[in-house]
A and B are shown apart, each in its own frame.
Chain A
Amino acid sequence: MRVTRGADIVVGDWPSSPEVVALLEGAGASLAWDVLTDAAVPAARVHDPVRASEWLWEVYGDAADAILGGAEEVDVPVVDSPIRDACRRVAQLTWARAWWPASVTAGVPALDPVVLNAELAVAVSTVEHLLDDPEAVERALAVVSPPLSQPGLAEQVAALAEDYGVELAPAEAPTRSGFALAAGGGDGVSGVAALSGSSSVDWSLVPHGVVDAAAPARWAVVRRQGRTALEVSVVPGPTPLARLAARFGEVEVALDGRDAAGRITGSAPVSAAVLLLPPDRRVLTVYAPDFAEPTPPDPAAEARRAAIVSYARSRLDSPTATVTERTAR
């Protein structure tokens, strides 16, 4: 692996787009796996060599010495390392919490947040000695809300809670209401569509779980009773309850309705001039106003999202996947 030295020491190729990064924040260094390449050995970014030296050998074996000692290239033997695997589990669950692409249209079931938080707390406790946050286990346990139906996991979490003096609070988990509603259905547009199209949703503009990760957002310019309107619809995800809006050229549309198929919809009057927009400006950007400002789409992002969706599908019955992924419903 290549080692580059700037303000930080970077080992390997640090993955570039946030949605593929499975991150672990260690003391003095962070580790990252690119979920799409799925290599066993992570990339690292060392910002405090002294603190990192305490544990980097657990991940890179003998190569840790050379990494911290000035080498430009290191050979990392891929040997079994329970600690590295545990780090990976923490990183994978952290990734899943942020980016798991639940989608009815693509057949990726939603994760159960109760299972995820519990499994994450257990994974964190396995590697707590090398994490940046000395209170990582307490912090992870604070969001675990029993009851848990996985027998092994339930006992592990209960034992941990006792060891760290945390009282687990049964809490209302975010509901999954509305998730099943939105599969299929027609295009949802009545009146005469003069122009229509679709754009995929940029995940970083909406909170996790709010929209279906794979279904495109659809738009249509509709003429009805002499008026022109822009109508927008998007398929909700498992937790579709953040306020959404869409931007199309200069037009801003609040997505505050629901259609018969369960889709989140909105409509705004537009001048007929919108029909004259050049095709490259007919781009619909869905976003959550309390969460992010709309940004121009990254042309490579759509293919990446598709790849992540099929990666997630492959995790459902993968023996190396976490319990959380394998119990997605």
Chain B
Amino acid sequence: MTIARAATLPRGALVARAWAGLGDAVAPLSNAAGRPLTRTVKLILDPLVLRPVLNPEFAAGAIAAAHADALTSRIADAGPVLAATASWFVVLKKERRRRWITEGNPQDLYFQRCFELATGHGEPGPDAAAVAATVLEEVHGREGPTVAALRDFVTDPANVDGLTRLLDTAWADRVAPAPGPVATSSFLATCAVTPDREAFRALVTGLAGSAGAVDLDLPGVARAHGLTDRDRPVRPGLGRGASKANLPKPFDRSILERLFAPLTNAFQRAGLADVPTLVRREIARSAGPWQLADEESRLVVVLGRDASASLAGDAPVGGPGSAAARLRSRWEREAYVHRVLRMPSAVPPEVRADVRGVREAYLRRLWVRVHGRELRHDTVTADQVWDVLDGVLRSVILDQRDRLRSVLEREAVA
């Protein structure tokens, strides 16, 4: 890897400098060190100010010196809007506190709303409290689909027969996906740094994701993927209830259980379809390859399967810098971090399955993530694949750490 050093500057440094120039006005969007919050970058600066999708010269990493001034002045120009965004955030937080709202992360829920308000209204005026109240009602209101509405709908005797017939038909009409080439290795070789959008599109149009599901109905295959406890996947039920702590494996979840988690999260709930639509789509989805609806999502699962193949094995698959090599390096790093954090080396029985079955846990979490994105129509793009593949492993690993720690603490309190 060669980066022409003298000719580039780290984007983080340029953003930090430009951000510092905005002063205290943006403090509500900054951390204690005065840098923009992670979510300020992710939800405001990237998608609304720098927009690297349209301006590839502003993408994360090294910025060519020629574009450095353009980047900093873009942030400086957005100064008034960003300052107003920060003021709106303070107003919304205050109103949230007044109403005893505790649901969701305010940064996730309000940052983009605040930017919209700042763009439309400028700084908060005398009517700020009323505007804030309206926004909070929209965000937290009963408008979106709720778990209660979902449960009522799928258990309503008036619906049960029709929905069950729909499920039966969808599963009876299932067509085995056509076998085909699933050549993921060239995309995976570079997706972390220079994702090949053409290759991704070719895999999507070639139905590689569906083709990768061809064996799932063979005995034991879906189970080896960690997606079911059964020998083969069976038609899901509609379901009557769900509990977050006790969800079965993805293919063993009822229709209600599949929709349950996304509906309990305020940030994810925004923008979901109405309950009847969600349920009908979920029924159709459950009969598709990988029990997913979009070819992109299916492909991401296949990419994750291939990239995670060497997590637990002996020989790494894929060359240096490939997604497989990077995932494996994260996993190997974790063994070291465990020693440094004085985590158990003899694994307690409660979490043994996770550690031994890291790949299964990985595929499970990946399925849940792409499923959630399907519901929000937030299809994974070629550029986002690596973040998804890496983020899923990180989250599996960190949850494992939390679980180990709580086992230790439980022992200490017991």
Interface stretch, picked from B167-175, B238-246, B279-287, B343-351, is B343-351
Number of residue pairs spanning A and B whose beta carbons lie under 8 angstroms apart: 150
Interface stretch, picked from A164-172, A188-196, A215-223, A302-310, is A164-172
Q: Return A264 CB to nearest CB of chain B, in Å.
A: 14
Chain B residues whose C-beta falls within 8 Å of the C-beta of A48 in the assembled complex = 192, 326
CA distance A118 to B172 in the complex (A): 55
Given A139-B398, A164-B105, A57 contacting B35 (CB threshold 8 A)? no
Interface stretch, picked from A72-80, A124-132, A252-260, A319-327, is A124-132
Residue of A nearest to B409 (CB): A174
Task: Judge whether A98 is part of the interface by a CB distance below 8 angstroms.
Answer: yes
Mask for B166-209, Cβ within 8 A of A = 1, else 0? 00000000000000000000000000110000000000000000
| Most chain B C-beta atoms within 10 Å of own C-beta, residue among A122, A128, A139, A293 | A128
Interface stretch, picked from A62-70, A179-187, A277-285, is A62-70
Mask for A109-133, Cβ within 8 A of B = 1, else 0? 0000000000000100111111011
Q: Return B82 CB to nearest CB of chain A, in Å.
A: 16
CA distance A127 to B107 in the complex (A): 17
Task: Judge whether A155 is part of the interface by a CB distance below 8 angstroms.
Answer: no
CA distance A291 to B411 in the complex (A): 11
CA distance A43 to B93 in the complex (A): 40
| Most chain A C-beta atoms within 10 Å of own C-beta, residue among B1, B193, B330, B346 | B346
Residue of A nearest to B40 (CB): A129
Q: Which of A132, A139, A292 meets B402, CB within 8 Å? A: A139
Task: Judge whether A249 is part of the interface by a CB distance below 8 angstroms.
Answer: no
Could you tell me if B344 and A290 are in contact, using CB atoms closer than 8 angstroms? yes
Interface stretch, picked from B157-165, B216-224, B332-340, is B332-340
Task: Judge whether B315 is part of the interface by a CB distance below 8 angstroms.
Answer: no
Could you tell me if B342 and A18 are in contact, using CB atoms closer than 8 angstroms? yes
Given A128-B38, A209-B412, A68 contacting B97 (CB threshold 8 A)? no
Could you tell me if B107 and A163 are in contact, using CB atoms closer than 8 angstroms? yes
CA distance A165 to B89 in the complex (A): 13
Chain A residues whose C-beta falls within 8 Å of the C-beta of B348 in the assembled complex = 290
Q: By the criterion of a CB under 8 Å from any partner CB, how many residues of chain A are at the interface?
A: 67
Task: Judge whether B103 is part of the interface by a CB distance below 8 angstroms.
Answer: yes
Residue of A nearest to B399 (CB): A139
Given A18-B340, A47-B333, A129-B41, A174 contacting B412 (CB threshold 8 A)? yes
Task: Judge whether A148 is part of the interface by a CB distance below 8 angstroms.
Answer: no
Q: Return B387 CB to nearest CB of chain A, in Å.
A: 10
Could you tell me if B345 and A293 are in contact, using CB atoms closer than 8 angstroms? yes
Could you tell me if A165 and B105 are in contact, using CB atoms closer than 8 angstroms? yes
Task: Judge whether A317 is part of the interface by a CB distance below 8 angstroms.
Answer: no
Task: Judge whether A50 is part of the interface by a CB distance below 8 angstroms.
Answer: yes
CA distance A209 to B36 in the complex (A): 38
Chain A residues whose C-beta falls within 8 Å of the C-beta of B37 in the assembled complex = 128-129
B 369-414 contacts with A by CB, 8 A: 391, 394, 398, 402, 408-409, 411-414
Could you tell me if A172 and B193 are in contact, using CB atoms closer than 8 angstroms? no
Residue of A nearest to B93 (CB): A162
Could you tell me if B12 and A57 are in contact, using CB atoms closer than 8 angstroms? yes
Could you tell me if A98 and B341 are in contact, using CB atoms closer than 8 angstroms? yes
Q: Which of A57, A86, A138, A208 meets B33, CB within 8 Å? A: A86
Q: Return A125 CB to nearest CB of chain B, in Å.
A: 6
Task: Judge whether A23 is part of the interface by a CB distance below 8 angstroms.
Answer: yes
Could you tell me if A7 and B342 are in contact, using CB atoms closer than 8 angstroms? no
Q: Which of B103, B337, B402, B412 meets A207, CB within 8 Å? A: B412
- A sample of 30 cross-chain residue pairs with beta-carbon separation below 8 angstroms, ordered by A number, consists of A47-B326, A47-B329, A50-B60, A53-B10, A53-B11, A53-B61, A53-B62, A54-B61, A57-B10, A69-B5, A83-B35, A99-B342, A125-B31, A129-B33, A129-B35, A133-B398, A134-B391, A162-B93, A162-B106, A165-B103, A165-B107, A167-B102, A172-B413, A174-B413, A175-B413, A241-B412, A241-B413, A242-B408, A289-B346, A290-B348
**Interface, chain A (partner B; CB < 8 A):** 7, 18-19, 21, 23, 25, 30, 47-51, 53-58, 64-66, 68-70, 82-83, 86, 94, 97-99, 122, 125-130, 132-134, 138-139, 142, 162-165, 167, 172, 174-175, 203-204, 207-210, 239, 241-243, 289-293
Q: Which 8 pairs from chain A and chain B are nearest by CB?
A: A54-B12, A98-B342, A69-B5, A165-B105, A126-B32, A18-B339, A174-B412, A239-B412
